[in-house]
Amino acid sequence: MAYTPHTDPDRAAMLAAIGVAGIDDLFDDVPPAVRAAAWDLPAPMVEQEVRAELRRLANRNRIPDVSFLGYGAYRHLVPSVVSEVVGRAEFSTAYTPYQPEVSQGTLQSIYEFQSLICELTGMEVATASHYDGATATAEAALMACRLTRRERVAVSNAVHPEVRRVLATYCSGPGIEVVEVPADLAAGGTGQTDPAAAAAVLDDSFACLIAQQPNAFGVLEPMAELGQAAHAAGAQLVAVVEPTSLAVLEPPGSYGADIVTAEGQPLGIPMSFGGPWVGLMAARMGAVRQMPGRLVGATRDAAGRKGYVLTLQAREQHIRREKAASNICTNQALCALAATAYLTAVGPAGLREVAELSMAQARHAAGALRRAGLAERRFTAPYVAEVAVTVPDAERRHAVLAAEGVVAGAPLWRDYPELTDTLLLAATELTSDTDIERLVAALEASR
Amino acid sequence: MSVVDERVDASGRGAAFASPEPGEALTIVEPLVFDHSRPGRRAVRFPVASDAARAAGKGEPALPASVQRQEAPRLPEVSELELLRHFTRLSQLNIAIETAFYPLGSCTMKYNPKVNEWAARLTGFTDSHPLDPDELAQGSLELQWLLAELLREISGFAAVSLQPAAGAHGELTGMLMTRAFHRSNGEGEQRTKVLVPDSSHGTNPATATMVGYSVVTIPSNERGGIDLGALRAALGSDTAALMITNPSTLGIFEDQIDQVVAAVREAGAIAYMDGANLNAILGRFRPGEAGFDVMHFNLHKTFSTPHGGGGPGAGPVGVSERLAPFLPRPLPVLREGDADAVRANAWAGRETPGARFGLDWDRPQSIGKVRSMFGNFGMHLRAYAYIRANGGDGLRGVSDDAVLAANYLRVRLADAFDLPYDRVCKHEVVFSGRRQKRQHGVTTLDMAKAILDHGIHPPTIYFPLIVEEALMIEPTETESLETLDRFVDVMHDIARRAADEPEALRAAPVTTPVGRLDEAGAARRPDLRHRFGPDPVPESTEGG
Ligand SMILES: Cc1ncc(COP(=O)(O)O)c(C=O)c1O
């Protein structure tokens, strides 16, 4: 009991007040047939031992000296002020703001988050947060099914495989069919989802088309045309986006997206082996009552003071139970706070700097590799901050480099067998010129 | 109370701010971050690409003009200090575990140890990319494997997945596995119903619907347990599962749990235990051992990871042998080395030479993935640190003290409030405010608001739904006897004032940054984001 305050006299006093002889009397209600057998768990540890054990495990990870691995998780600067804000116990040790009078800090910061996500995406309403970008996208698909009363979903296979995996799982329960629209992955191909291919799949049985901008290969998709293909079939366009790229890319609201989702990890959240991160979801006001998840709204108290509350709760499980729009309860509020603090810390100029430097370094890496004769760009369409390149004998060389502490991007053939020898290189503002030199030298040496 | 010229909020904690709009009777406790913004102000800056980088990138495709954003997003422009002041002031408008007693029933608001936060910030963890080659991520993988081993031992289940991100997400995982199990037996079409007791958490029925099941509600009996007769009558060849919370949301251990599980299994259905309340029964009852098929853990409850103002949490699931093939993939596995040796070494804080961990994707019957990557790892490592700090004996003590505290409040408050189920409770106790409502017209909501004026977070109210005017109190094991006694005094005072000055309670709270807010108005006229002056984009109409 590392953290309980009770002394033995305290316990004795409480037992006496309750009127029982011992603590075991309070567990009489466990039927004897199913009382726990003895368990085999380790002995307790004091703080210095806990630290040593956790340090042991942290040190067993080898953080690469140089990494071009992105593919859904990105190494960005987490500004010190962001860590400071999320480290405040008044935020981190509160819970869902059921009592708004004493939760204005959490509620207002969520309202600010919703506002920022609307501004970034060009949409009208954003939720308080989801578990991650993949579950947000899966819930967007279910939402589109509710909105259109249709039971099929089309998804480009250039949507990140992790997102498609989660989508498939979520759809399997209620029996929603997921149909993939193949992207142009041929050698010398664009790497894009062809709107004609989407139109060929879509008909009036489809609730939505899901496409990603930039897509899983970092390539820009013809989102407006994909949206037209979806709308022509009466389906919605679900746009999966990368938030830092929205500093330079047109917002999905202006190319006709009906629902926008994103993984918010790049916004000031450490990679932490996959989580906690935060899923973003935004939509049009017309769809708000079918949105899953929490929403915060502004209102007044009796004295006219402005304040914030959880609102439109008639969509939610604690009110509607089996008729709720989603079962989500605990979400990722603290990560949403990190994103709010991050977007505030970098501002419009900083977000643009992040996006531009990431793009410049991706081009730097691709250009340097091409000129050194080490790699060729795999796709013809323009890319943002990730670039797919083919490298002869990539599997072996990727492993050789990793052993030297250089991660040469994501091996795409594992998810796309047709993309043999294709590595996806990601750059961020933390990618230095020397990182790129090191990658070039290491690939050179591994020939 | 005149508000127009009231420039200081009642708590005195927030910054005063009167509306700049003349004549608008509005006081704002802390302005929106957008109101602090001035064009050109900067906090964090970034380098620009070097000349060498630009030169090297020549010949690579530029961003086509057609996809470029025309107008920059109107993010706030503030200095670092202004940013910190804004969020610090906001934080001070919250009650949190570290500022006050927070007996929010069902939520387990216990102390969140600081050493866990220290661990979560180690760069060996924060900079660990989930797709790094396994050789570079041995620490993350070992930690997940060890945590799954510990949770297995704690719960008595055959296997554990850490992937679900919260309790409700664990429920979804469990129900999807239930479906997959019945399908694999050729009973997928036939078993369409999920039974839930009327005391269940809203996530249980909502989850059942999400996987396409219909929900059948089972009544509770007069003792607060499940009505066994009604359960038996409802069970049949169309039952997919029973989802039962144990201890229940009434804080009561289901003392016929062995019969419940037997009946469910006999009907060929899956026995799901909502493990949100596992913190009450550590070392006393192991659901896997008792015959349950599947349970979610709430790491943010039982294992003390911070609640973050509404997450992140983590909702691992434990399963019986027969459900194990359906677990989400991948699972962290020990690829090389002897499991007993690795465990023994880790329990002694030692490395096992030659041990190698990996991820097992080769699980053909798996339901697939429920979340990208491998779950909320940052919560996994905190829970691991917590379990290691407590050890087996400590964990048992956690439940003992949690149950002791709840029963102490039960007997101390029984004179002031109705106790619909007057029996030994587990980690929480549910009172009813019906006496105060009937006799004095003071509702549980009024009493909760009055509690706020004592600087205490109120209990959960109006849940479970089967208790009229419910007041669900969960003190947890980390609150001292003095704190519990002060709470008893506060509650007695409130009960007295409900009789003597009901109007005052109906006007509470009066010391908080804002008073009771117009929630109906908020829902009628949704204002869900900041507007930057006149909105250029016409809003689509709400409805749908
Ligand atoms: C009994 C019970 N079940 C399920 C849940 C859902 O857990 P979560 O909020 O982590 O999704 C909760 C808590 O909110 C709970 O108290």
* Contact: A50, B74; criterion CB under 8 Å: no
Q: Whose CA is nearest to atom 16 of ligand 1?
A: B106
Percent of chain B with pLDDT over 90: 92
Q: Is-contact A214 A220, C-beta < 8 A?
A: yes
Would you call B90 and A18 a contact, using CB atoms and an 8 Å cutoff? no
In this prediction, residue A319 has a pLDDT band, given cuts at 50, 70 and 90, of: confident
- Tell me what the mean pLDDT of segment B453-461 comes to: 98
Give A144: exposed, middle or buried? Use CB within 10 Å, 0-12, 13-18, 19+.
buried
Shortest Cα distance, chain A CAs vs residue B23, angstroms: 12
With contacts defined as CB-CB under 8 Å, which chain B residues touch A332? 165, 308, 311-312
**Poorest-pLDDT segment among A193-207, B11-25, B137-151, B469-483:** B11-25
Rounded to an integer, what distance in angstroms lies between the CA atom of residue B1 and that of residue B159? 60
How far B418 CA lies from chain A's nearest CA (Å)?
17
- Tokens 């011992």, residue? A22
- Which residue in B203, B387, B530 is closest to A329 by CB distance? B203
Mean pLDDT calculated for residue range B242-255:
97
Sheet with A410-411, side-by-side order of all strands: A376-377, A386-390, A422-426, A410-411
Question: Which protein residues touch ligand 1 with a CB less than 6 Å away?
Answer: A 329-330; B 106, 166-168, 201, 203, 245, 249, 274, 276, 298, 313, 315
Arch. (CATH architecture) of A80-342: 3-Layer(aba) Sandwich (3.40)
Distance from CA of A179 to the nearest CA of B (A): 17
The class level of CATH for A66-74+350-445 reads alpha beta
Find the DSSP H helices in A122-263.
133-148, 161-172, 195-201, 223-232
Segment A260-281 shows an average pLDDT of 98
Whether residue B6 is predicted with pLDDT greater than 60 in this model: the reply is no
CA distance A141 to B507: 44
Helix axis angle for A333-371 and A104-121, nearest 10°, is 30
Class of residue B537 by CB neighbours under 10 A (exposed 0-12, middle 13-18, buried 19+): exposed
Measuring CA to CA, which residue among A120, A130, A138, A107 is closest to residue A335?
Answer: A130
Measured in degrees and rounded to the nearest 5, phi and psi for residue A301 equal -95, 180
- Looking at beta carbons, which residues of chain A come within 8 Å of B150? 41
Partners of residue B514 in chain A, C-beta under 8 Å: 100-101, 104, 301, 305-307
What is the residue type of A86?
V
- Residues A161 and A174: their CA atoms lie apart, in Å, by 21
Chain Cα centroid distance, residue B239: 28
- Which chain A residues are closer than 8 Å to B120 by Cβ? 272
* Average pLDDT over every residue of B37-50: 97
Average pLDDT over residues B342-371: 97
At residue B534 the predicted structure's pLDDT band, cuts being 50, 70 and 90, is low
Residue B46 is given by DSSP the state -
For the beta carbon of residue B323, count every other beta carbon within 10 angstroms.
23
Residue ranges of alpha helices (H) inside A100-160 are 104-121, 133-148
Q: How many A from CA of A329 to the centre of ligand 1?
A: 7
Cα(A318) to ligand 1 centroid in Å equals 10
Q: Where are the domains of chain A?
A: 66-74+350-445, 80-342
Residues of A in contact with B47 (CB under 8 A): 353, 357, 429
Q: How many CB atoms lie within 10 A of CB B392?
A: 20
Determine the distance in angstroms separating the CA of A371 from the nearest CA of chain B, rounded to an integer. Answer: 9
Which of B201, B250, B299, B466 to mutate for ligand 1's pocket (most ligand atoms within 8 Å of CB)?
A: B201
Residue A46 alpha carbon to ligand 1 centre in Å: 30
A125 sits in which H/E element: strand A125-126
DSSP per-residue codes, B192-229: -EEEEETT--THHHHHHHHTT-EEEEE-B-TTSSB-HH
CA-B300 nearest atom, ligand 1 = 10
Residues of chain A positioned with their CB less than 8 A from the CB of B509: 101
B74 contact residues in A (CB cutoff 8 A): 119, 348
Residue with tokens 């989102």: A223
Q: How many C-alpha atoms does B207 have within 13 Å on its Cβ side?
A: 31
pLDDT(A199) > 90: yes
Domain-embedded: residue B43: yes
The residue assigned the tokens 């039974």 is B195
Residue B313 CA, closest ligand 1 atom number? 10
Output the six-digit token pair for B482.
């003095």
Scan for tokens 């989407």, then name that residue: A198
Where are any strands of DSSP class E within B298-350? 317-319, 331-336
In terms of CA atoms, which chain B residue is nearest residue A133?
B372
Please name the member of A10, A75, A250 whose beta carbon is closest to the beta carbon of B127: A75
A81: nearest CB among B84, B109, B176: B84
**Interface touch A131/B169, C-beta < 8 Å:** yes
% pLDDT > 70, chain A: 100
Which pLDDT score is estimated for B542? 45
Confidence of residue B21 (pLDDT cuts 50, 70, 90): very low
Give domain status of residue B191, yes or no: no
pLDDT at residue A341 is higher than 60: yes
* Atom 9 of ligand 1: nearest residue by CA position: A330
Chain CA centroid to CA B337, Å = 36
More confident residue, B377 or B29: B377
Interface test with A, best of B221, B528, B541, B542 (most A CBs within 10 A): B528
Cis peptide before B312 (omega within 30 of 0): yes
Q: Which of A73, A331, A354 sits opposite B46 (nearest CB)?
A: A354
For range B37-51, the mean pLDDT:
97
* Spatial distance between the Cα atoms of A325 and A331, rounded to a whole number of angstroms: 15
Q: Are the C-beta atoms of residues A233 and A266 closer than 8 Å to each other?
A: no
Compare CB distances from A357 to B46, B102, B208 and report the shortest one's residue.
B46
Look at residue B158 and tell me whether its pLDDT is greater than 80.
Answer: yes
Query: For residue A406, what are the β-bridge partners?
Result: A66
pLDDT at B369 over 50: yes
Which pLDDT does position B298 carry in this prediction? 98
- Measured between CB atoms, which of A40, A90, A351 is closest to B96? A90
On whether residue B117 sits in a domain, the answer given is no
∠ CA B230-B236-B239, rounded to 5°: 95
Taking a C-beta distance cutoff of 8 angstroms, is the pair B210, B172 a contact? yes
> Which atom of ligand 1 approaches the CA of A328 most closely?
11
Mean pLDDT of A235-248: 98
Residue of A nearest to B87 (CA): A85
Q: Look up residue B436 and give its amino acid.
A: Q
- Contact assignment for B90 to A33 by CB distance below 8 Å: no
Rg (CA), chain A: 25
Give the residue numbers spanning the domain of B46.
4-60+73-91
How many whole angstroms separate alpha carbon B461 and alpha carbon B464? 8
Q: What is the CATH number of the domain that holds B439?
A: 3.90.1150.10
Which of B104, B106, B244 should be mutated for ligand 1, with most atoms under 8 A from CB? Answer: B106
pLDDT value of position B118:
98
For CA atoms B227, B229, B233, B238, give the dihedral sign. Answer: positive
| Number of domains comprising chain B | 2
Rounded-to-10 torsion of CA B431, B303, A170, A141: 80
In a domain, B317, yes or no: no
Q: Is pLDDT above 70 for B62?
A: yes
Q: Using the beta-carbon criterion (under 8 Å), do A142 and B527 form an inter-chain contact?
A: no
Question: Which residue among B52, B130, B479 sits closest to A73, beta carbon to beta carbon?
Answer: B130
Q: How confident is the model at residue B533 (pLDDT cuts 50, 70, 90)?
A: confident
Pairing of strands B317-319, B294-297: antiparallel
Cβ neighbors of A282 (< 8 A, separation 6 or more) are A117, A118, A121, A123, A124, A125, A126, A127, A259, A260, A261
Asked whether the beta carbons of A306 and B534 are under 8 A apart, the reply is no
pLDDT confidence of residue A1: 63
Average pLDDT of the segment spanning B93-112: 98
Chain A closest CA to B254's CA: distance in Å?
7
Residues of A in contact with B361 (CB under 8 A): none
Verify whether the Cβ–Cβ distance B207 to A335 is below 8 Å.
no
Res B27: pLDDT: 59
